[in-house]
């Protein structure tokens, strides 16, 4: 796919709204294909744009009649995840019952995989709950890692230079878009 240039210099569209919708559908189908025997799938969003992406994936899973699909949100300080407690909530803001994780398939969702730190801390948060499987999902994988984590489900992989920034906008204003900013 070639990147188009919007009116702003130094920006390129890497995923438009239509491609984001197709990526979300494909990711949901891949999750179901990999975990069709699961009793429960927990889609765990990293707060921010990961929340919107996780909501869409959970909705797609429900539409294709996946096993019981639950959605929760993990709040964390992405800049200093060890300095502040992580908070897990159900999507509606109520407390999330960690016992629902036991023997479940947990998919940790964020918008962009950059260094890997956020996803690594997110995955580590769920391990004490003894899930059957933990997977990771991102809309854009930048392929630059400082931590040993990879995304199991990816909308778009993109090799960028370290100075570039990926901006994902899924919750308005304007259409959904993923931009590469130099």
Domain ranges of the chain: 14-181
Nearest 5°: phi and psi at 114?
Answer: -110, -90
Q: What is the three-state SS of the chain?
A: CCCECCCCCCEEEEEEHHHHHHHHHHHHHHHHHHCCCCCEEEEEEECCHHHHHHHHHHHHHHHCCCCEEEEEEEECCCCCCCCCCCEEEECCCCECCHHHHCCCEEEEEEEEECCCHHHHHHHHHHHHHCCCEEEEEEEEECCCCCCCCCCCEEEEECCCCCCCEEEEECCCCCCCEEEEEC
Residue range 14-181, CATH number = 3.40.50.2020
Lowest mean pLDDT among 27-36, 47-56, 153-162: 153-162
Q: What is the pLDDT of residue 14?
A: 92
Q: What is the pLDDT of residue 7?
A: 47
Burial class (CB within 10 angstroms; exposed 0-12, middle 13-18, buried 19+) of 131 = buried
For the cut 80, the answer to whether the pLDDT of residue 17 exceeds it is yes
Q: What is the pLDDT of residue 56?
A: 94
139: Cβ–Cβ under 8 A, 6 or more apart, which residues?
15, 20, 23, 49, 53, 111, 112, 154, 155, 156, 168, 178
In terms of pLDDT, which residue wins out, 138 or 100? Answer: 138
Roughly how many angstroms between the first and final C-alpha of the chain, as a whole number? 18
Query: Which tens digit of pLDDT belongs to each residue from 66-108?
Result: 789 999 999 988 888 888 888 899 888 788 888 888 999 999 9
For the cut 60, the answer to whether the pLDDT of residue 2 exceeds it is no
Q: What is the pLDDT of residue 9?
A: 59
């Amino acid at each position: 796919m070639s990147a188009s240039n919007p009116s702003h210099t130094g920006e390129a569209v890497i995923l438009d709204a239509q491609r984001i919708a197709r990526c979300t559908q494909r990711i949901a189908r891949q999750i179901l294909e990999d975990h069709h025997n699961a009793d429960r799938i927990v889609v765990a969003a990293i707060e921010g744009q990961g929340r919107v992406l996780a909501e869409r994936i959970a909705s797609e899973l429900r539409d294709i009649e996946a096993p019981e699909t639950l959605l929760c949100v993990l709040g964390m300080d992405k800049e200093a995840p060890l300095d502040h407690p992580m908070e897990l909530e159900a999507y509606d803001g109520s407390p999330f019952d960690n016992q629902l994780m036991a023997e479940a398939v947990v998919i940790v969702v964020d918008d962009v995989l950059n260094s890997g730190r956020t996803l690594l801390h997110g995955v580590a948060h769920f391990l004490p709950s003894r899930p059957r499987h933990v997977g990771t999902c991102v809309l854009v994988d930048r392929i630059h890692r400082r931590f040993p984590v990879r995304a199991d489900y990816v909308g778009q992989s993109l090799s960028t230079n370290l100075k570039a920034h990926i901006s994902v906008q899924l919750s308005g204003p304007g259409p959904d878009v993923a931009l590469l900013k130099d």
